[in-house]
Amino acid sequence: MPTPFRFSLEKTDSQSRARAGLFSTPHGDIRTPVFAPVGTQGTVKTLSPDELTDLGAYLILANTYHLYLRPGADVVQRLGGLHRFMAWPGPILTDSGGFQVFSLSGLRKISNDGVTFRSHIDGSEHFFSPEKSVQVQEALGADIIMAFDECPDPMDYDYNVVALRRTHGWAARCQKAQTRSDQALFGIVQGGIFPELREESARFLSALDLSGYAIGGLSVGEPKAKTIEMLDLTVPLLPPDKPRYLMGVGSPEDLFSGVERGIDIFDCALPTRLARNGALFTSHGRINLRNAVFAGAEGPIEEGCTCYTCQRFSMAYLHHLYKAEEILGLRLNTLHNVHFLLELMRNIRSSILQGTFAHLKAEFVSRYIPVQDDAQRRENLSQRRDRKEPAAKPGPQRRERSSSSPLDD
């Protein structure tokens, strides 16, 4: 039976590693480079599937850990799989649950077999192994599934040595455990900020001949220079004919940085999470609706933006919805931010095809003022803390609407 997955490169940039490709899946083609909005619990927060289609999303991500706990992979399977459950007809990627499980520190037992952890919802005990992760992901039925990996502190060498060995063994076990041929299994390169470990990981996983390769354990608190060093080192060691996925990365400047280093797939909860906090992307940088200067602003978030929000609503209205804590505000902000990133990726892709990527990047960089490296790092670190928090106090269902904890999104 021919595999339903084919990754064809349409164009490779002459001045960088940037490339434009097409990844075929059972639920449609993914034009790369692509940004995948995050739909942790089977919904990209605040958006309907039709809105995602209108936004031109090619791929969305859902979280295995969350869906396994609630509503349960068996429920999703009985209801026809995740595509039908959430009424999203396009490609879906599920992570392995590793990242979440390993963020529940203090409440896990790790062995070569797998990991015992407690639910952040009700404190109940669960066990994930590579086989279990694949089994759950097969029940969910995404188009792209991820190998179960261990996610150590990227700066801790000794831990990374041990964890890497385990991650590699687990990747091979995931490959063996797969029973469905209509799901592309991606391996995840780990190794923290240590060149020799990253190299070892890229070589080991490449030898497994998986359907694609992710780079994990980056943008989780390490210095940005290290992120870039690891990318520069790792990507050339991966098979050029397989898609490459940089996990959890999604600020506009990081998309450029990843694309020019040869990354094809990105995912990040940043645009949706920022939106719910009133932070909006513009071509000049982020702005925040909280700012009283917007209370009377007649114009849209950005002149010329073609998103639904900018075409209909003033900043003053969005400011009002934010202050009045209206759900429509969360929706309109999310629509804008997701549109911004998807449109940016469409422009990036066109520029690669037209040979003008370097020009586009220069133009973008000249206008866009990123959040300070330090501030960004503080943000990431505080997200890591949030991520660990639920484990410290497991208990009855947390009731936080539109929370900004990464465990929720």
Contact pick of 86, 151, 348, 391 for its own copies (by CB under 8 A): 86
Instruction: Report the nearest approach of its own copies to the CB of residue 296 (Å).
Output: 6
Rounded distance, CA 103 to CA 248, Å? 14
Check binding of 46 to its own copies (CB under 8 A).
yes
Find the helix or strand (DSSP H, E) in which 125 lies. Answer: strand 125-128
Q: Which is nearer to its own copies, 393 or 399 (CB)?
A: 399
Per the structure block, which two tokens stand in for 383?
């997200």
Q: Which is nearer to its own copies, 5 or 294 (CB)?
A: 294
Q: Which is nearer to its own copies, 54 or 131 (CB)?
A: 54
Contact pick of 57, 330, 345, 360 for its own copies (by CB under 8 A): 330
Rounded distance, CA 84 to CA 153, Å? 37
Is 408 a known active-site residue? no
Check binding of 313 to its own copies (CB under 8 A).
yes
How big is the site for its own copies, counted in residues (CB under 8 A)? 45
Check binding of 83 to its own copies (CB under 8 A).
no
Contacts of 350-354 with CB under 8 Å at 24 or more apart are: 352/11, 352/12, 352/13, 352/18, 352/19, 352/20, 352/33, 352/259, 353/10, 353/11, 353/20
Contact pick of 6, 70, 176, 284 for its own copies (by CB under 8 A): 70
Rounded distance, CA 230 to CA 226, Å? 6
Check binding of 401 to its own copies (CB under 8 A).
yes
Sheet containing 184-189: give its strands across: 34-37, 265-268, 244-246, 212-215, 184-189, 144-146, 92-94, 60-62
First to last CA, the chain: 36
Residue bearing tokens 């490449």: 206
| b/e burial code for range 101-130 (CB count within 10 A of at least 16 → b) | bbbbeebbeeeebbbebbbbbeeeebebbb
- CA gyration radius, the chain: 20
Check binding of 166 to its own copies (CB under 8 A).
no
Rounded distance, CA 263 to CA 50, Å? 28
Residue tagged active-site, from 13, 143, 267, 408: 267
Q: Which residues contact 243 (CB under 8 A, 6 or more apart)?
A: 7, 21, 23, 32, 186, 211, 212, 213, 264, 265
Check binding of 197 to its own copies (CB under 8 A).
no
User: Looking at the chain, how many residues does it have?
Assistant: 409
Contact pick of 16, 24, 48, 283 for its own copies (by CB under 8 A): 48
Is 232 a known active-site residue? no
Check binding of 356 to its own copies (CB under 8 A).
no
- Binding piece for its own copies, criterion CB under 8 A, among 75-83, 188-196, 200-208, 363-371: 75-83
Helix axes 357-367, 252-259, angle to 10 degrees: 150
Check binding of 79 to its own copies (CB under 8 A).
yes
Check binding of 293 to its own copies (CB under 8 A).
no
Q: Which is nearer to its own copies, 71 or 195 (CB)?
A: 71
Q: Which is nearer to its own copies, 15 or 397 (CB)?
A: 397
Contact pick of 17, 45, 168, 273 for its own copies (by CB under 8 A): 45
Q: Which is nearer to its own copies, 323 or 346 (CB)?
A: 323
- Binding piece for its own copies, criterion CB under 8 A, among 8-16, 68-76, 148-156, 284-292: 68-76
Instruction: Work out the angle at residue 106's Cα, subtended by the Cα atoms of residues 105 and 111, and round it to the nearest 5 degrees.
Output: 80
Contact pick of 158, 303, 374, 400 for its own copies (by CB under 8 A): 400
- Binding piece for its own copies, criterion CB under 8 A, among 14-22, 56-64, 85-93, 258-266: 85-93
Contact pick of 43, 129, 133, 175 for its own copies (by CB under 8 A): 43
Question: Which residues are catalytic, by number?
Answer: 95, 267
Q: Write out the residues near its own copies by the rule CB under 8 A.
A: 41-43, 45-50, 66, 70-71, 75, 78-79, 85-87, 295-296, 298, 308, 312-314, 316-317, 319-321, 323-332, 397, 399-402
